[in-house]
Amino acid sequence: GENVEQHPSTLSVQEGDSAVIKCTYSDSASNYFPWYKQELGKGPQLIIDIRSNVGEKKDQRIAVTLNKTAKHFSLHITETQPEDSAVYFCAASRRALTFGSGTRLQVQP
Amino acid sequence: NAGVTQTPKFQVLKTGQSMTLQCAQDMNHNSMYWYRQDPGMGLRLIYYSASEGTTDKGEVPNGYNVSRLNKREFSLRLESAAPSQTSVYFCASSEQTSWPSNYEQYFGPGTRLTVT
């Protein structure tokens, strides 16, 4: 089945800096790649997603890039703010969603 | 709209006890899911239901049963709880009507279960 690896497991940045989280997947047939944000004590919430026919997608300060040849995709957050502090999960889907192990992002004021 | 609601929020069980986790959604979604979240392992799919009366096994179904009572409600039952089932359980729903799973999933707040 699908295997998704996510790095780093923790990331600390200063407010205003950029943050990058990277994921690799194993199943070349996967065609949907969402990113979820989970705040403490809450369920995950979709922040952005990308499909295999698109190489990059941007939504305000958040962008995702996809390299299907290398089977990896990344989340980029620019101008980070303290409210961006959370755990971020990538996922890949050919059938069911397979999630990465998560990245705890801490934005220092 | 409440979105996806789960009860209870917290539960402590002794090994061998049984319990049912309840989930309901008010978004008229077709698909519902149960996941478990363990430290350092992301979320893993336990069961999935594409419509009332249908269920499919996910990655980690052993030790669990599910019931899709109607379009709104999807319950998860532990018949004989084991310490390995200590986890946070999330219910989710989406507009998806069949595989692949490429629609946004909306998650509930979770149930934290401890089995001693």
pLDDT in tens, A69-87: 999 999 999 999 999 999 9
What pLDDT does residue B59 have?
A: 93
**Average pLDDT of chain A, as a whole number:** 95
Contact A43/B at CB under 8 A: yes
Tokens of A14: 């200063």
What pLDDT does residue A27 have?
A: 94
The answer to whether residues A69 and B22 touch, using CB atoms and an 8 Å cutoff, is no
The answer on pLDDT for A54 being more than 90 is no
What value does the mean pLDDT take over residues B94-98?
A: 82
Q: Are A96 and B48 in contact (CB < 8 Å)?
A: yes
The answer to whether residues B80 and B115 touch, using CB atoms and an 8 Å cutoff, is no
On chain B, the residues whose CB falls within 8 A of the CB of A36 are 107
The answer on pLDDT for B1 being more than 80 is no
What pLDDT does residue A10 have?
A: 97
Query: Read out DSSP for chain A?
Result: ---EEEE-SEEEEETTS-EEEEEEES-TT--EEEEEEE-TTS--EEEEEEETT-SEEEETTEEEEEETTTTEEEEEE-S--GGG-EEEEEEEESSSEEE---EEEEEE-
What pLDDT does residue A53 have?
A: 81
**Average pLDDT of chain B, as a whole number:** 94
Q: Residue B107: which of A43, A51, A93 has the nearest Cβ? A: A43
Least confident of A42-56, A57-71, A83-97, B96-110: B96-110
The answer on pLDDT for B8 being more than 90 is yes
On chain A, the residues whose CB falls within 8 A of the CB of B90 are 43-44
On chain A, the residues whose CB falls within 8 A of the CB of B41 are 101
H or E element: which one contains B49?
strand B43-51
DSSP assignment, residue B54?
A: E
The answer on pLDDT for A52 being more than 90 is no
Q: Are A96 and B41 in contact (CB < 8 Å)?
A: no
Contact B27/A at CB under 8 A: no
Contact B39/A at CB under 8 A: no
**Cα–Cα distance between B94 and B57 in angstroms, integer?**
17
The answer on pLDDT for B97 being more than 80 is no
What pLDDT does residue B5 have?
A: 97
Neighbours of A69 (CB within 10 A): 7
What pLDDT does residue B33 have?
A: 95
Neighbours of A40 (CB within 10 A): 7
What pLDDT does residue A83 have?
A: 97
What value does the mean pLDDT take over residues B31-38?
A: 96
Q: Are A43 and B90 in contact (CB < 8 Å)?
A: yes
The answer to whether residues B95 and B105 touch, using CB atoms and an 8 Å cutoff, is no
The answer on pLDDT for B32 being more than 90 is yes
What pLDDT does residue B98 have?
A: 72
On chain A, the residues whose CB falls within 8 A of the CB of B107 are 36, 43-45
Contact B60/A at CB under 8 A: no
B94 or A52, greater pLDDT:
B94
